[in-house]
Structure 1
């Protein structure tokens, strides 16, 4: 069975080849009703950029969105300002990028282990409900537990 050293080595290879890796944190069967899944990047800190996190989505969807936004930053778009609307990330809807810090529910452990807590900055890709509303907007239909936030708009 591969150990931690193998995991770190493979992650390092991905970061060197792509510029970042994506980690998925999934709830166990015991806490699936109370904990939302989340995914985050590891590697952007080395480029003096925030790591991105997204919560409440299936890992495949989260990976696609994180790879898209991380690719933009990695390939020269620069950092993204807090509260920036991104119109072309999710078909038909705007996503919003917010700044924040780790919470009890959302901890980018692999990034912190690699770079240190004092070096890792976080930005969250916040996605809308089916009506295009964001968690802080009136009428958001999914409930805040479906998409925990690391900060506020």
Structure 2
């Protein structure tokens, strides 16, 4: 008999004795999760590199991995993550290696398990919320206009580098804009 997923150790489910000292980010995250079941964090592009977006609360509310998208317009990625969040809430959690059609501008997305070495630099808000690492996180990869994902033959080098390959450990990832976040 399977023991099932581990208990949630987030700041909503467990009293760590610091609830009166939570910052605005944590309080806003709690409000979003309480109201919608998850929150989406937007990290705007800056001089260090492209932006990204990720969820907090899917594990707490639905025992589904958290999700992250990278390298696109943060508001478009937010909408994509919210679409996937609604699918998860309806009982369709994603799995490593799965592809889903028509999620981003009519194009499919693919899910890849994130290596825990990326958790703190890329998902710091989720790590702080859950107070543990690793927790399950999937990268949501998007294809080029031809429907090819960055790891597939036929994609050009700029597109291959437009999204990190977080399923690789940081040591295995090619140096570039994404590894500067480490």
What is the TM-score normalised by the length of structure 1?
A: 0.84
Q: In structure 1, what is the equivalent of residue 4 of structure 2? A: none
Aligned length: 145
1:101 to 103, 115, 127: 115
State the partner residue of 1:145: 161
Equivalent-residue separation in structure 1 for 2:120 and 2:151 (angstroms): 18
Instruction: Give 3-state SS (helix, strand or coil) of 2:146's partner.
Output: coil
1:40 is paired with a residue whose SS is strand
Q: 1:121 aligns with which of 109, 126, 136?
A: 136
Gaps of at least 5 residues in structure 1 are: none
Matched residues in 2 for 1:55 and 1:91: separation? 15
Structure 1 or 2, whichever has the larger Rg, is 2
Report matched runs for 1:20-35 at 5 Å. Answer: 20-29=38-47, 31=48, 35=49
Which gives a bigger RCO, structure 1 or 2 (Cα 8 Å, sep 6+)?
Answer: 1
Unaligned stretches of 5+ residues in structure 2: 1-20, 169-182
Check whether the contact 2:150–2:161 (CA below 8 A) recurs between aligned residues.
no
Pairwise CA RMSD: 2.2
Structure 1 stretches of 4+ with a deviation exceeding 6 A read none
Looking at secondary structure, tell me which structure has more strand per residue: 1
